[in-house]
Amino acid sequence: MPSTQKPMRYGHTEGHTDVCFDDTGSCIVTCGSDGDVRIWENLDDDDPKSINVGEKAYSFALKNGRLVTAVSNNTVQIHTFPEGAPDGILTRFTTNANHVVFNRDGTKIAAGSSDFMVKVVEVTDSSQQKTFRGHDAPVLSLSFDPQDVFLTSASCDGSVRVWKISDQTCVTSWPLLQKCNDVINAKSICRLAWQPKSGKFLIFFIDTLSIVIWSPCGQYVAAGSVDGCIAVWNVDTQECMERMKHEKSYTICGLAWHPKGGQIAYTDTEGNLGLLENVCNKDGKKSSGKVSSAVAKDYNDLFDEDDDFLNTDLIEPRSSPKVVSNEEEEEDDDLMLASGHPRHRGAIIEDDENSLDTALMKVNSNLEKDDDNDQDGSIPVLPISTTQRPFYDGPVPTPQQKPFQSGSTPSHLTHRFMVWNSIGIIRCYNDEQDNAIDVEFHDTSIHHATHLPNSLNHTMADLSSEAILLACESTEELASKLHCVHFSSWDSNKEWTVDMPKDEDIEAVCLGQGWAACATSAMLTRVFTIGGVQKEIFSFPGPVVSMAGHGEQLLVVYHRGTGFDGDQCLGVQLIELGKKKRQVLHGDPLPLTRKSYLMWVGFSAEGTPCYVDSKGIVKMLNRGLGNTWIPVCDTREYCKGKSDHYWVIGIHENPQQLRCIPCKGARFPPTLPRPAVAILSFKLPYCQITTEKGQMEEQFWRSVLFHNHLDYLSKNGYEYDENAKNEAAKEQQELLMKLFALSCKLEREFRCVELADFMTQNAVNLAIKYASRSRKLILAQRLSEMAVEKATEMAAPEEDDEEEEEDFRNHLNAGYSSSTTEWSQPRVRNLYEQDMEDSKEADAVEEVEEMPEMQKFSKKLLGQVGKFTPIFVSANQKDSTAHSANILDNMSKFSKNTPTPNSRAVNKQKSPVIKPLIPKPKSKQALAATFFQPRPPPAVDKTVEEKEEKAENTLPEIQAAATENKRPKTGFQMWLEENRESILADNPDLEEADIIKEGMSRFRVLSSDERMIWTEKAKGGAASNSAEAKKRKRPADAKNEGKEKREEKSKEDSSLPKKRKPLDPSINVRLSAFAFKQS
Amino acid sequence: MDPAEAEFLAEKELVTVIPNFSLDRIYLIGGDLGPFNPGLPVEVPLWLAVNLKQRQKCRLIPPEWMDAEKLEEIRDQERKEDTFTPMPSPYYMELTKLLLNYASDSIPKADEIRTLVKDTWDTRIAKLRLSADSFVRQQEAHAKLDNLTLMEINTTGTFLTQALDHMYKLRTNLQPAESAQSQDF
């Protein structure tokens, strides 16, 4: 029959304790670090008699109505028992004594002290003292042999000594223990025990087993270990009779056998007292009679043989020579020694214990032990094992981490943060006089600081700019409650409370905009409106870990399954609770770092899901890459010390800030002194971050990543900062250009092309220019080809648009919602104007991926395409095919157009310079025209339409521009176009206005004849132009307004190349000359 | 220069505050300040910090040196050495005074810090007096004192220079009297 283990009870305050039974066994006596000796009638005695013996009691011994205690004033004193009256001081040390023991008849006591001394004192006459010197470190424990001849002592110096009491000499010394410098550092207190009566064996353990006692009959040995195990063996049969675990795995530091046997009282270092009953009952002893073949093995097996238990190799010196020589009864003096290899316990969770995971740790170690038991059970040598479980040696399952609130500190603390987020701080005080919750807002304009009583013992909280959400677990009487303080409510009822159904506990809560949610132990997520209306309920597939809300988004992290070897196995759901409800992440696995657990989960201020694991890696959802997770920061890199951590409280994408609190030597901050926030920067884990290339790559992708939210916002119809977006695009293009230049320098032309592929058309143009300037003509050629391809790609969808307008719209709605507006609205206006309805209809997931491209695309259209595409038109008209357009043509365009950033300004001043004014869409059209021949020549209907429009006068501005462009060129203008190149070549850094000035002066220098030629040329060109227009006049198709506008613009554009037409040959000549020079 | 002026200069020192309001970057002649994000530390000049604090718009984070232990060390060092030791801030006295007057609630061990700084100050002023004394006694023409802060110079500066002036006058008056006599002769 196995022993019964009674639940532990509080005995003393935390700290070292000792226990024994009185002589008759009628009561249990304990002492503890509170300095009391308590006398318990039984384990359920609620009113034990207390004797105060000092500030702290280290050890005590009880015999014959005398209570001897070692207390903190460095004395060993006697009290009467059970009255507790002081009866004098037996002896003193220079520091406290660690252990006192009586000899068998109670006439002497031995005390071992931290001052390295051992004293033996007559109880009745304290002047009769014997001092034993020889230990080099504090003495841990002592034991008299039953015959009173020898005294054994164990010390921190690693030795166990046997002394002959009569002459105070050290008979023998075994250096068996682990050395340490103080009692508190000792691995175990290493109690020793002689077998009662016969004194045949002395037993002690060298590893984690700290205490050993003999049963009064001398047949059994009980031992307690540092990690909370107690085991009992039969010495004769060498069987393990009992094995039990301390319910909380605290270190056993006191163990006492009832004088009549059958009961073992034990205490732990946390001050708890426990009792084992029916230990080694006769009925309990099975005659299994299986004796192990090797004693050593047997003992080895009794305690778990794997990592954290001792690995006892029992040595059994049949006769230890030295002892024998000094003993009278040497024949039967068997010294049984248990020695062991100190083994380090393989930590399962290697992080320090102060953190959130204390709970986790406990579970962890319990599990681990269960596992150990499994292993024992299978060993055939252990017949008494109550359960035979199969042996398992595979990966160990990780205990699942407990649910937590992001930004909270562990709930067992008396002063803790319940939440620290971007809105404010909720602190919880839970000490004797007060149980309250303090809410403080970072921004006092949201709400003033609040103090709430915490009578319900809320443990979870969340805070938003609308409400405070609190939740408590259920107690025996009360159901689990959700309590919301909706302070932004405009009515007078600011609070509401909801009770959960019976047996359903809230495990996590979160607040979004206009809603609150809680996850319960029934694996349900319950959503409420912020005013308290119950809304959606849905199940998620595992125990919740944490949840977070932001705007309409709800993020739930739960256990997907069991992780192994320290890993957690988490899943994540991201749900949008807005008008259009949908699930973005469908329970995808959450990629935690190995052997880590989740520390923080939430959203960036801009609404991107992020999380932090216990290894300090911050990961963020990359919506630009199919909702994958990307590590954005390793907070451990910023830590100075190994045990320093950063406690994350918030993430901001613009500006890029990781807000956290530095914690020295801890995982989380204390509430006082008030911690200060620090800001860390993000760093994507790109390779070779020390090189310039790596740095720029990292910067580029970081910039892309941290502006994904803009696309998301625009897609979902939120307001966002247009400037931020433009700036981001600019920054990215700059970085790309730098990378491009770097690759150019390194002669990595292929890489250059790859880089150019990321660029917008504008940047590609610059890149082409750069390439040609740095005499990489092949590269320039490639790039221009690429640019053409890009333009084609871009033109293709537009052509569709022209031909099947309806379909195109539909298509857009399906896939390119954000760009819908671009296509369907007047070009002149802001391309990015939101068309909310359209975008809402759109399938957003796809959009996320499509949008950036589209937007870049359109931007490019806006600004730059026009600048170079006309060349193709002209080339086309000149009958060369668009694709074969010479790279030099491109270049010439460039040198003409791109280096004049202020061209627009110049245009406003009505300067004669001819430039595509608002080049964006028409360029597309022109392009389209070149590539899709079936269309009528663009110029034709354009001029026509343009005239119509003039009549309508719908867009005066554009018209003005158009007319300006349409005005016949003067001779000077033509000349200037021709000669701009050379002017620029001479003065490369001239501004547009300066170029014109310079041109003027040069033109004047020309001879009058030459000037005449140019004027004539100009007249001729203009004439033919207008003639053409007349000829081609024909009824315009009925087209919608938007299209007309586009056409109009393209007309301007197409008219340009026409005017240039006569110049083309000479340009080409010059360009080829330039090319020659270059090569 | 009087102490008020020194204090005025000290008000340009930057201190860290945690605002409880939100405000964009503000552009001032002396430089841009902010942006202010609630709950995020930001560096502002002392004058603004004090002003915000008075309006309960921020919490103050004391400078790193404003810590009882560090100040104790500084005080002991100051007492031990005969010369002036470098101070943690050139405006340590003004900062302490202003911060402790207006934001003692956000500074742990405010009273202790006040005492420590005062002790240090007294020690230094005593040294200064002593050196001024020996300067005058030995009738030196010049002396060099390192690590003096502006406020400290101010406390004795005017008095010492005036005193020296007077002494000079007295001395020169003695001589003219003699020379006058000699002229009389």
Q: Do residues A111 and A97 lie in contact, with contact meaning Cβ atoms separated by under 8 Å?
A: yes
Which CATH number fits the domain B3-172, given the four candidates 1.20.58.1020, 3.40.50.720, 3.40.710.10, 1.10.8.80?
1.20.58.1020
Cα–Cα distance, A923 to A941 (Å, whole number):
15
Q: Does B153 touch chain A (CB under 8 A)?
A: no
Measured between CA atoms, the residue of chain A closest to residue B35 is A655
- Cα atoms in the 13 Å half-sphere on the side-chain side of A34: 15
Q: Does A803 touch chain B (CB under 8 A)?
A: no
* pLDDT of A376 over the 50 cut: no
CB pairs under 8 A between A and B: 36
Neighbouring CB atoms inside 10 A of A526's CB total 21
Dihedral sign for Cα atoms in the order A9, A12, A18, A19: negative
Which residue of B22, B41, B61 is in closest CB contact with A443?
B22
A307-330 pLDDT, tens per residue? Answer: 333 333 333 333 333 333 333 333
B-chain residues within 8 Å CB-CB of A442?
A: 18, 20, 37-40
Measured between CA atoms, the residue of chain B closest to residue A658 is B40
Q: Does A673 touch chain B (CB under 8 A)?
A: yes
Q: Which of the two residues, A689 and A126, has the higher pLDDT score?
A: A689
Adjacent-strand bridge partners of A76: A70, A91
Measured between CA atoms, the residue of chain B closest to residue A661 is B40
Q: What is the CA radius of gyration of chain A?
A: 44
A1053-1064 pLDDT, tens per residue? Answer: 444 444 444 444
- In the block, tokens 């034993």 appear at A132
Taking the CA of residue B56 and the nearest CA in chain A, the distance in Å comes to 9
Q: Taking CB atoms and an 8 Å limit, are B61 and A424 in contact across chains?
A: no
What pLDDT is attached to residue B14?
Answer: 92
Classify residue A637 as exposed, middle or buried by CB count within 10 Å of its CB (0-12, 13-18, 19+): exposed
Adjacent-strand bridge partners of A462: A469
B-chain residues within 8 Å CB-CB of A422?
A: 39
Q: Taking CB atoms and an 8 Å limit, are A679 and B20 in contact across chains?
A: no
The two structure tokens encoding residue A1060: 């240039």
What pLDDT is attached to residue A97?
Answer: 86
Cα–Cα distance, A708 to A721 (Å, whole number):
13
A889-944 pLDDT, tens per residue? Answer: 444 444 444 444 444 443 444 444 444 444 444 444 444 444 444 444 444 444 44
What pLDDT is attached to residue A224?
Answer: 83
What pLDDT is attached to residue A3?
Answer: 66
When pLDDT is cut at 50, 70 and 90, the band that residue B48 belongs to is very high
Q: Does B20 touch chain A (CB under 8 A)?
A: yes
Measured between CA atoms, the residue of chain A closest to residue B55 is A444
Cα–Cα distance, A497 to A491 (Å, whole number):
16
- Chain-centroid distance of CA B184 in Å reads 52
Q: Does A424 touch chain B (CB under 8 A)?
A: yes
What pLDDT is attached to residue A557?
Answer: 94
A-chain residues within 8 Å CB-CB of B108?
A: 673
Which residue of B20, B21, B41 is in closest CB contact with A677?
B41
Q: Does B22 touch chain A (CB under 8 A)?
A: yes
Q: Does A422 touch chain B (CB under 8 A)?
A: yes
Adjacent-strand bridge partners of A439: A426, A450
- The answer for residues whose C-beta is within 8 angstroms of residue B67's C-beta and 6 or more apart is B113
A-chain residues within 8 Å CB-CB of B40?
A: 442, 659, 677, 679
Q: Does B21 touch chain A (CB under 8 A)?
A: yes
Cα–Cα distance, A596 to A602 (Å, whole number):
17
* pLDDT of A978 over the 80 cut: no
Q: Do residues A388 and A375 lie in contact, with contact meaning Cβ atoms separated by under 8 Å?
A: no
Which has the minimum average pLDDT: A271-285, A601-615, A761-775, A908-922?
A: A908-922
What pLDDT is attached to residue A533?
Answer: 93
Is ipTM over 0.90?
no
Cα–Cα distance, B185 to B180 (Å, whole number):
8
Which has the minimum average pLDDT: A6-15, A742-751, A820-829?
A: A820-829
The pTM is what? 0.52
What does the CA dihedral B74, B80, B83, B86 come to, rounded to 10 degrees? -10
b/e map of A678-715 (b: 16 or more CB within 10 Å)? bebebbbebeeeeeebebbbbbbbbbbbbbbbbbbbbb
The two structure tokens encoding residue B183: 């002229």
What pLDDT is attached to residue A172?
Answer: 84
A786-832 pLDDT, tens per residue? Answer: 888 888 888 876 555 444 444 444 444 444 444 444 444 444 444 44
- The answer for residues whose C-beta is within 8 angstroms of residue A858's C-beta and 6 or more apart is A819, A822, A831
3-state secondary structure of A577: coil
Cα–Cα distance, A538 to A536 (Å, whole number):
7
What pLDDT is attached to residue A49?
Answer: 84
Where are the domains positioned within chain B? 3-172
- The answer for residues whose C-beta is within 8 angstroms of residue A400's C-beta and 6 or more apart is A543, A559, A562, A563, A568
Instruction: Find, among A166, A154, A145, A105, the residue nearest to A334 by Cα.
Output: A145
Adjacent-strand bridge partners of A274: A266
- The answer for residues whose C-beta is within 8 angstroms of residue A325's C-beta and 6 or more apart is none
Q: Taking CB atoms and an 8 Å limit, are B39 and A444 in contact across chains?
A: no
Taking the CA of residue B61 and the nearest CA in chain A, the distance in Å comes to 8
Chain B, residues 106-145, CB within 8 A of chain A, namely 106, 108
Q: Does A676 touch chain B (CB under 8 A)?
A: yes
Q: Taking CB atoms and an 8 Å limit, are A445 and B22 in contact across chains?
A: yes
Q: Which of the two residues, B174 and A710, has the higher pLDDT score?
A: A710
Taking the CA of residue A901 and the nearest CA in chain B, the distance in Å comes to 29
Q: Do residues A138 and A155 lie in contact, with contact meaning Cβ atoms separated by under 8 Å?
A: yes
Q: Taking CB atoms and an 8 Å limit, are A444 and B61 in contact across chains?
A: no
Measured between CA atoms, the residue of chain B closest to residue A655 is B35
Which residue of A442, A673, A678 is in closest CB contact with B39?
A442
Measured between CA atoms, the residue of chain B closest to residue A679 is B40
Q: What is the overall mean pLDDT for chain A?
A: 72
Q: Taking CB atoms and an 8 Å limit, are A445 and B21 in contact across chains?
A: yes
Q: Which of B16, B18, B21, B40 to mutate to test the interface with A (most CBs of A within 10 A)?
A: B40
Q: Taking CB atoms and an 8 Å limit, are B20 and A441 in contact across chains?
A: yes
Cα–Cα distance, A729 to A737 (Å, whole number):
12
What pLDDT is attached to residue A65?
Answer: 83
Q: Does B61 touch chain A (CB under 8 A)?
A: yes
Largest interatomic CA distance in chain A: 141
- In A258-397, the DSSP E strands lie at 263-268, 272-277, 312-315, 337-340
Q: Does A291 touch chain B (CB under 8 A)?
A: no
Which has the minimum average pLDDT: A389-393, A568-572, A1041-1045?
A: A1041-1045
- In A389-511, the DSSP E strands lie at 415-420, 424-430, 435-441, 450-453, 460-463, 468-472, 481-485, 495-499, 506-511
- DSSP annotation string for A456-486: T---EEEE-SS-EEEEE---SSSPPEEEEE-
Adjacent-strand bridge partners of A441: A424
First to last CA, chain B: 46
Q: What is the overall mean pLDDT for chain B?
A: 87
